A and B are shown apart, each in its own frame.
Chain A
Amino acid sequence: MVWAGIDYLHPLNKRSENLMFDQYPAMDGFYDEWIDAAGQPRPIAASVWQAFQALSPDDMAERQQALESEIKAQGISFTVYSDSENIDRAWPLDLLPRIIAASEWRQTQDGLEQRLRALNLFINDLYNDQQVIKDGIIPADLVLNSGNFRAECTGITPAHGVWAHVCGSDLVRDAQGQLRVLEDNLRVPSGVSYMLENRNLMKRVMPELFQSIDLLPVRGYPHALLDTLVSLSPRGQAQPTIVVLTPGIYNSAYFEHCYLAQQMGAELVEGADLLVDSDDCVYMRTIHGPERVDVIYRRVDDAFLDPEVFRSDSMLGVRGLMRAWRAGNVAIANAPGAGVADDKAVYAYVPELIRYYLNEAPQIENVPTYLCQRPDECAYVLAHLNELVIKPVNESGGYGLMIGPHASAEQIDACAQAIRDNPRNWIAQPMLNLSTVPTFTGQQVAPRHVDLRPFVLQGERTHCTTGGLCRVALVEGSLVVNSSQGGGSKDMWVIDDGGAS
């Protein structure tokens, strides 16, 4: 009887077909991750397509509901800041996964690891010999005047010469189907815990699919992170004391800090739990008294890390931490100052940096980027303002950005003036046609735009996640995938296609 029940539930064994999929409209001018231009499922997506098509609309709604109640019950949340309140919101996850072939993913991983190796060589060079500037590869003022360049870090070479140990790179797929890097986050990238939880949730709600589809697992990440952090320990013992430094419970990524500490068996600490003693070593306050700390995986921004060196009003940091780090008594991941390489102007140079440091061709492309600093590119940008996205180089989080096709004539004039006044402060990129994935809206299955944030680790070795956190813009036509602005997420399925790497 039990077996009969499972057979009955198995979607592949159901006869009825879900018409929502027949009516799925792919969008002109956008690459769809599930179906091709002729409306047929791509080979890698065919079995997933069939499985979901066999679910009745009621069944789909019921499973989406089950996902959501599971998320609530498990307390998987993120924090939204509004006026004076911090609201703990349930994490949004769509039932339909994003799919990629393992053969394509292996190439992408190689490209991302290559990129991070080059970025780390670049950061170490900047804080030491600055050969890259002397060789004229990148202009001095572009990096040395960046707000993320920390003069306090010069002369230091951290373990393995690595500064950015954890990198979250945002990938988008353009209309031609090519994956490109949109930006690299080298400061405190977040989201990896949601990637891990998304998979756990999907296993609970769609268990039948995991029997029939050859899906690569994602759960190795916490171990890889732990290995990376262990390899940084200044004392070199087998079991160094590792802590995750969090700004505290009101930080939007607190859930993740807690999750990673738990998965690694590391101590989750706040700034006030740590102290730097007169021996320039870092200790945590335990019930038995102070205990030496070897490696800090910090999720606090540079500016708040040490009130002795950076912002003196910081309540989140540890007084004397930079002293201890400079003395080589503690490892900090990511190292202070690593953010200098995730500046938008530096981004435009990454392909050249890969060639310069590794003597290799970049395996994964940037989004085409025009630097207004270069006169010919500036002229092109000024002539095509109404088609391009214009971004200031030293801002993050979308501030100061102008989207040409949506801008008024006045905005375009003002932008042109700003570029002429200070060309080196601006870059421009074409409008991105983010690829789409079928998404369950409750009434229908409709295309929604996605991006992808894989996480790349570098310590003694490099490691890249299997897939990453896939974010989806749930609002029709929207390209904004941020969870604070109506974005959701999808489980990212890397499916074994038997292809060679």
Chain B
Amino acid sequence: MLSRVAEHLYWLGRYIERAEDTARLFDATANLIMDLPEHSPVNWNGLVEAVTAERVESETTEARVSRWLILDAKNSSSVRSCIHSARENGRVVRDQIPKDAWESLNRIDLMLSDQALSAMSRRRRADLLRDVIWGCRHISGVLHGSMSRDEAWQFLRLGVQIERADMSSRLLDFKSTSILPDNEWTQESDAVLGWMAVLQAQDGYEMYRQSVNNRVRAADALGFLLSDRSFPRSLTHALGEVESGLLGLPVDAELPRVIRQARQWVEQLPAQRMDSDDLSQAMDQFQARLGWVHDSILDSFFNRKTN
């Protein structure tokens, strides 16, 4: 496999996953808001910060956030930009992926670039997000169902899993600051709603109910999303996939070891007694470790000067 091609596949995986996760996070947040009392002081800035990793100073509104995070081409983290970047990477490696996956990617890209930036109703926004999520899932399905388990597959999966781990940790970080300021969670039932939204954003509500035979509790939900071994969107599961995804690829032993350590570290986090600050700090640390893994992958495989 050409180094350049491997790199495009890696980024293709990352961008598809990021687009889907961002759409999912937005959708779940918007759902949650409809359950909250009217005029609740909603922390939209927190959502923008979770997705873009940039601090937002100015006061913002639902309409502006919708536009910025979903459709605005000027925001390189918007759903539209992610899909467009996925398409550009996909176009270069079109010969490596099944035709149906390319067509699906192309369709979502066309659909998003046809959308007007202004005045998006809540209903239209919900439909649009649903279309994006379904489209991304269709691509994943085609790739899973039709792609040979060769090196191209490995790099695509590495990209998907690293992005998934990254977005999941951002989601938990966002939850720790919460969409409402802490003191607004006046009722236990509201807090439960918040965790249900997080589980839904991870498409994990049903799986959580299967695995935890109890009412939704914050500590259980956190434990589930951090380190449930069988849930494919938990942090430890994603890390396990990254580790196994490296099998057979020419890397030195350091990289799998660091990934293993990170996984053990997540498993040992005390989910039952973490407060918001603990969680926020833990997720910052997690992202630093993940960043090191990403840099190592870049160095090992894509750096043209070294091979």
Give me the interface of A with B, judged by CB distance under 8 Å: 72-75, 249, 254, 258-259, 261-262, 267-270, 272-273, 284-290
Residue of B nearest to A284 (CB): B2
Q: Is the CB of A75 within 8 A of B3?
A: no
The A-contacting residues of B in range 293-307, CB under 8 angstroms, are: 301, 304, 307
Q: Is the CB of B1 within 8 A of A73?
A: no
Known: A258-B95, A268-B95. A73 touches B110 (CB 8 A): yes
Identify which of residues 232-268 in chain B touch chain A, using a CB-to-CB cut-off of 8 Å. Answer: 249-250
Given contacts A73-B106, A268-B95, 14 further A-B contacts (CB under 8 A): A73-B103, A73-B110, A74-B99, A75-B91, A249-B91, A258-B91, A259-B94, A285-B2, A285-B4, A286-B1, A286-B2, A287-B1, A287-B307, A288-B1
Q: Looking at chain B's contact residues, is the secondary structure mostly helix, strand, loop, or mixed?
A: helix
Q: Is B119 at the interface (CB under 8 A from chain A)?
A: no
Q: 17 A-B residue contacts at CB 8 Å?
A: A73-B103, A73-B110, A74-B103, A75-B103, A75-B106, A258-B92, A259-B94, A259-B95, A262-B94, A268-B95, A269-B2, A272-B304, A273-B3, A285-B304, A287-B3, A287-B151, A288-B250
**Complex-state Cα separation, A262 to B5, whole angstroms:** 13
Nearest Cβ on chain B to A248's Cβ, whole angstroms: 9
Query: Which residue from B4, B6, B250 sits with its C-beta under 8 Å from A270?
Result: B4
Q: Are B95 and A287 in contact (CB under 8 A)?
A: no
C-alpha spacing A273/B2, complex, angstroms: 7
Give the residue name and chain of the A residue nearest to B88 (CB).
Answer: A249
Cβ of B102 < 8 Å from any Cβ of A? yes
CA distance A128 to B301 in the complex (A): 45
The distance in angstroms between the C-alpha atoms of A272 and B7, with both chains bound, is 14
Name the B residues within 8 Å of A286 (CB-CB). 1-3, 307
Query: Which of B92, B99, B151 is packed against the most chain A CB atoms within 10 Å?
Result: B92
State which of A258, A261, A268, A285 has its C-beta within 8 Å of the C-beta of B3.
Answer: A285
| Chain A residues in 8 Å Cβ range of B5 | 267-268
User: At the interface, yes or no: B107 with Cβ under 8 Å from chain A?
Assistant: yes
- Chain B, interface size category, equals 20 to 34
How many angstroms from the CA of A284 to the CA of B110 in the assembled complex? 34
A269 to B96 alpha-carbon distance, docked (Å): 12
B151: nearest residue on chain A (CB-CB)?
A287
Closest residue of chain A to B154, judged by CB?
A287
Q: From DSSP, what is the main secondary structure of chain A's interface residues? A: mixed
- Closest A-B pairs by Cβ, 8 of them: A262-B95, A75-B106, A261-B95, A258-B94, A287-B301, A287-B6, A289-B307, A285-B3
- Minimum CB–CB distance for B134 against chain A, Å: 15
On chain B, the residues within 8 Å of A290 by CB distance are 307
Interface mask (B1-44 → A, CB under 8 Å = 1, otherwise 0):
11111100000000000000000000000000000000000000
Against A, the Cβ 8 Å flags (1 = close, 0 = not) of B84-98 are 000010011011100
Residues in A neighbouring B307, C-beta threshold 8 A = 285-287, 289-290
User: B22: shortest Cβ distance to chain A, in Å?
Assistant: 23
* B110 and A273 form a contact (CB under 8 A): no
Closest approach, in angstroms, between the C-beta of B70 and any C-beta of chain A? 22
Give CA–CA (A102, B117) in the complex, Å.
53
Determine whether the beta carbon of B304 is less than 8 Å from that of A72: no
Smallest Cβ-Cβ distance to B94: which chain A residue: A258
Residues in A whose Cβ lies below 8 Å from that of B2: 267, 269, 273, 284-287
Contact partners of A270 in chain B: CB under 8 A = 4
Least Cβ–Cβ distance between B136 and chain A, in angstroms? 16
Collect the chain A residues with CB atoms within 8 Å of residue B95's CB: 258-259, 261-262, 268
Q: In the complex, what distance in Å separates the CA atom of A267 from the CA atom of B2? A: 8
The winner among A72, A249, A268 for most chain B CB atoms within 10 A is A268
Would you call B250 and A272 a contact (CB within 8 A)? no
Max chain B C-beta neighbours (<10 A), residue from A262, A267, A286 = A286
Q: How far is the CA of A258 from the CA of B106 in the complex (A)?
A: 16
Q: Which residues of B contact A261 (CB under 8 A)?
A: 95
Residue on A nearest B95 in the bound complex, by CB: A262
A215 CA to B88 CA in the complex, in Å? 37
Closest B residue to A264 by beta carbon equals B95
- Whether A287 touches B250, Cβ cut-off 8 Å, given contacts A74-B103, A74-B106, A273-B4, is yes
> In whole Å, how far is A229's beta carbon from the nearest beta carbon of chain B?
15
Chain B CB within 10 Å, residue with most, of A267, A285, A287: A287
Which A residues are in CB contact (< 8 Å) with B94?
Answer: 258-259, 262
Q: Which residues of A contact B301 (CB under 8 A)?
A: 287
List residues of chain B with CB within 8 A of the CB of A254: 91
By the criterion CB–CB under 8 Å, are A73 and B107 in contact?
yes
Query: How far apart are A75's CB and chain B's nearest CB, in angstroms?
Result: 4
**B224 CB → nearest A CB, Å:** 36
Minimal beta-carbon separation of B39 from chain A (angstroms): 44
Q: How far is the CA of A262 from the CA of B6 in the complex (A)?
A: 16
Residues of B within 8 A of A268 (CB): 5, 95
Docked pose: A259 CA to B94 CA in angstroms: 8
Interface residues of B in 277-307 (CB under 8 A from A): 301, 304, 307
How far does the Cβ of A67 sit from chain B's closest Cβ, in whole Å?
15
